[in-house]
Chain A
Amino acid sequence: MLQNHSMKTPEIFQARYGARAARVGSSLPRADALAKVTGREPYACDFYHPDMLWLGVKRAGVPHARLRGIDVAAARELSGVAAVLTHDDVQGSNRQGVVRKDQPVLVDDKVRHAGDAVALVLAMDPASLARALELIRLDLDPLPGVFDLDQALAPGAPLVHGDNPQGNLMLAGQVTIGQGLDALDDCAVVVQEVFRLPRQEHAYLETEAGWALWDPDGGLTITASTQTPFRDMAEVAEALGLERDQVRIKAPYPGGAFGGKDGVSVQSLLGLAALAAPGVPVKIWLDRQESFIASPKRHPARLAYRLGAGQDGTLQALHAVLHYDTGPYDHLGGVVATLGLEHSGGAYVIPHVHLETYAVYTNNPVGGAFRGFGVPQVNAAMEGMMERLAGRLGMDPAKLRQKNILRPGSLTPVGVTLDCSVGLADCLEQAAGHRLWTRRRPWKAAAGPHQRRGVGLALALHGMGYGPVVPDVANAKIELSDQGRLVVYCGVVDMGQGNASTYLQVAGHLLNQDLAHLELVLPDTARTLPSGSSSASRTTFTYGRALLAAAGELKVRLLKRAADMLMVPVEEMTLVPGAVRHLTSGRELSLKDLAGFMAGEERVAVHSFRAPVSPQRPSDDPGLTLHGLPHRIFSFGAQLCGVEVDRLTGRVRVLSLVTFCDVGNVINRQVLEQQVQGGAAQGLGYALWERMRSREGRIIENDLSTYIIPTAGDLPDMELVVVPGFEPEGPFGMKGAGELPTDLPAAAVAAAVADACGAAPNRFPITPQVVLELLHQGAARNLA
């Protein structure tokens, strides 16, 4: 009764939804939905095989230590154990990492955080696996660790990487525009604050999972829950000492990822284990607690801001000092800190800035990519500064923003000319005219007993893509199958955001096909083409452009071949669902018949597209440029939030959340709503509930009962207003929308809570206890 894991786009979906035309602009049902609602979608964790071996990891359990030895004898002798592996079994570099290769597959010299993998066990069954892992003895020589920013940066602090020339500083970067710091002295008003943002866990429902098979003749195949199959292939090959063409990565739909599966998690471990068990499938599936310990998180941050303005509210100068706790490995920490820097001045024109960003090594959990990528932190801070400035000047917060927002052609806070589409003014105008804002006074006055209400406003922008240096490339491939279907070879993972379905919609629109004649091949390094990561709000934009070009090329070819066969002029031919039709005679050639007349290669079109980058260089620092500064295309948004605060318990209920966004033209409104609602939900979690603290390098909120993500009962119905927009560079005028919604809620909720309490928070999440303190401060202020 084992599930069939080779299932393609289900026939039943075709039967039910096949006749729906794939038109851009329609809320077409997602191609993956049917397999998912019937439980048939095979996720990486769903593989079972009678002969398979279970893979488990012995983790360090201590945050910083020198590895003296590993005693695996007792574990090896246990019956039911097939292999026990350590760094001695790794033939390659034993190092992996997205930017810097500084993370061991299995620790060989030093443990740098409690979740480091030290040894592997392959066993016949889960019980033997668990026993064997307990029997492994690690001989660890504990080292003093660094567990917060100050500790890590103090002179003489223990070093996480002894060979790093900057000590525990992983990346330091600065940008100065105009007169920089000096300009603050000339400002009529200066407000300042230090903000603290928590570590946030992705909490994707499917924990890290996958399976691998080593066929000595055919190579290593790894099926894993990942966002980055092509990069994984390269990393696994190098770390394990294989050639790239010996490694194949298949990426089924992950059960959520949000950045947390950007980079290798279990892939190298699976590869190493498979090499030890030729011909036998090996499977790993981390349990929740292990996933929490081992996986990268959103960086905790400390952000010190000083913002200066004229008496009329015109922004003059900003000094921002950003510190991100990046944990023990580079991962994507430098890129996160750099994107944070670029967005630290928010969506405003500020002529004079001095911005500093620091990514700091610690022995805490690894900091990595998480939807928003450094921006939710700085946006909470910058918008918090705008609220404080409005308060100081006695100005309406919307009017203060109106005065200062970025418009087409503006210079961003890092001094880069905006030459993408910019719909921020429309977003703000819609927000300021929304009933929740215009009628906020009576709404607040209607609060029940013991309740206070508040309304907050926030703006944000979010850059798309990798920036100027790392090639932001997608290679699309589309094929007319011998069955007469158009097959899109999807090189970018769909971790739930719906991009794979959107690709079908884009190709179907261009080729005038319905869903019955469209098919999808999921990312597989042996079948699809390298198209970069599923990340950075680039997924639909970059691959979409490549696909449009490939589909356009195939279209021309199909029309030409059909015209030749019918011996009519090509201009008189058109594509209709399942066929090519001669417009004047009505004669048709089915796509299936047409495919029969075309050679294999002729039925395939590929196209490579590289996203446009900015030629501007706001900083001489090559490190910042390498790490992605600056971006060229941005999405923009505003958000209104209405909260009710309980004066007795400090509980905050979000009653209204309205998002206004400029994301260019909308290809599928339903998929956009999914992104906005889901992204906002994660942002609300970040604002109000979620924090993963650590004590001496060990996480405190270590499972889903203590790490609190919102349930259906905690979130409101949300509203979305899309302002008309068209980005000329985007496929059908779209821009990325995946991250913007996550950047906004911490700021919007903070503003609303401040409005309700009479005092503004500077620590997140805004817990009930914090709210009681704010109410107290607000009351004291009122008396004074």
Chain B
Amino acid sequence: MTRVWLPSSLEELWPLWAENPGAALYAGGTDLLVRRRAGLVRPEALICLERVAELGRIEPDGPEVFLGAAASFSRLLSSPLVTEKYPVLAAALQRIGSPQVRHMGTLGGNLVTASPAGDSLPPLYTLDAVVELVAVGATRRVPIAEFIQGPGQVDLRPGELVSGVRLPATDGNLQHFEKVGSRAALAISIASLAVAGRLSDQGEVLQIKLAWGSVGPTVVCAPAAEAALQGKKLTPETLAAAGELAQQAASPIDDLRASREYRLALVKNLLLRLAP
């Protein structure tokens, strides 16, 4: 029988985990418990992080904002820190799963699962999020693009867990997110695009970050496409040109939800939505 713990603080967690190093950690359970039911993982013990106070924090920290790894998506969505400062993230969170899944799922889960279809990830890339990791007596900060190394592969050392993400202040006036899923809700991304940046009063791109989900093994960024838009207005022509550069950066696969070809078309087409 699998043992289960529900620590309420990191202080409680550390000794438990030390005694049960084979335990699997989870918060919402929307991924781990599905895989467990399917027999894909058979953890010898489970530690549920939903009550660990430090991991549920949502708070400003100087100019930055800290979002706790075990704060549910719905809690993030009810915080003005998220909805007002980072609408690109809020829009993505709003498209995750369903209301019930958003009451359960967490950023920490999305980060550690490191699926290319994790809907919160592309916005975090565009916002230059920094992942904060804690271990007994140690804290580490890693930019998200370095933290996620491949599908399901993250820079997480033994004894470390994700405590949250830090989002830098943003003065951007352009934030945009679009997800293409198989249906309006309860849908895994076929492709998504997150955009964050700043436009001049004339509509010229002063700065822009683009990140696509589900069109490569991890979130796909396309610096060439970003560079191509620098200083330009977002017109169908400039966007199409950038989209073609982005297609070169993407490496989508065929799966049962969509074909490679369709996903490639979306890489470009989703950008075209930015044209006013």
Contacts and interface: CB of A to CB of B under 8 A. Distances in A.
B258 A713 contact: no
Nearest to B259: A769
Interface in B233-276: 256-259, 261-262, 265-266, 269-270, 272-273
B270 A708 contact: no
Contact of B185 (A648, A705, A711, A772): A711
A649 B269 contact: yes
Main secondary structure of the interface of B (DSSP, over half): loop
Contact of B272 (A648, A701, A706): A648
Contact of B183 (A700, A711, A769, A772): A711
Contacts of B266: 648-649
Contacts of B265: 772
B262 A450 contact: no
Given A700-B256, A711-B186, A648 B262 contact: no
Interface residues of A, number: 20
Given A700-B256, A705-B188, A713-B185, A651 B262 contact: no
A648 B273 contact: yes
A450 B259 CA distance: 22
Interface string A677-713: 0000000000001000100000011000110101111
For the side of the interface on B, what is the size category? Answer: 20 to 34
A261 B254 CA distance: 34
B182 A649 contact: no
B184 interface: yes
Contact of A772 (B182, B262, B270): B262
A651 B266 CA distance: 11
A714 interface: yes
Nearest to A708: B182
A651 B256 contact: no
B98 to A, nearest CB: 8
Given A648-B269, A649-B269, A700-B256, A713 B262 contact: no
A58 B272 CA distance: 52
B180 interface: yes
A749 B182 CA distance: 17
A450 B272 contact: yes
Question: By CB atoms of chain B within 10 A, which of A648, A706, A708, A714 has the most?
Answer: A648
Contacts of B273: 450, 648
B122 to A, nearest CB: 16
Given A648-B272, A649-B270, A701 B183 contact: no
A768 interface: yes
A651 B182 contact: no
B269 A711 contact: no
Interface of A (DSSP majority class): loop
A603 B272 CA distance: 75
Nearest to A648: B269
A544 to B, nearest CB: 37
B184 A713 contact: yes
A648 B270 contact: yes
Given A769-B259, A772-B265, A711 B184 contact: yes
Contacts of B256: 693, 700-701, 706
Contacts of B259: 769
Interface in B214-247: none
Most A-side CB within 10 Å, residue of B98, B183, B266, B270: B183
B239 to A, nearest CB: 11
Contacts of A712: 185
A407 B122 CA distance: 59
A649 B183 contact: no
B28 to A, nearest CB: 16
Contacts of B269: 648-649
Given A450-B273, A649-B266, A769-B262, A710 B188 contact: no
A775 to B, nearest CB: 11
A223 to B, nearest CB: 27
Interface string B159-178: 00000000000000000000
A705 B261 CA distance: 22
A648 B183 CA distance: 16
Contacts of B187: 708
Contacts of B186: 705, 711
Interface in A461-518: none
Contacts of B185: 711-713
Interface in B70-109: 98
B184 A714 contact: yes
Interface in A753-784: 768-769, 772
A649 B258 contact: no
A711 B187 CA distance: 10
A713 B183 contact: yes
Contacts of A708: 182-183, 187
B138 to A, nearest CB: 38
Interface of A: 450, 648-651, 689, 693, 700-701, 705-706, 708, 710-714, 768-769, 772
Given A649-B269, A705-B188, 7 more contacts: A649-B180, A649-B266, A701-B256, A706-B257, A710-B183, A768-B258, A769-B261
Interface of B: 98, 180, 182-188, 256-259, 261-262, 265-266, 269-270, 272-273
Closest 4 CB pairs of A and B: A713-B184, A648-B269, A769-B262, A708-B182
30 contacts: A450-B273, A648-B266, A648-B270, A648-B272, A649-B180, A649-B266, A649-B269, A651-B180, A689-B183, A693-B256, A700-B256, A701-B256, A705-B186, A705-B188, A706-B256, A708-B182, A708-B183, A708-B187, A711-B98, A711-B184, A711-B185, A712-B185, A714-B183, A714-B184, A768-B258, A768-B262, A769-B258, A769-B259, A769-B262, A772-B262
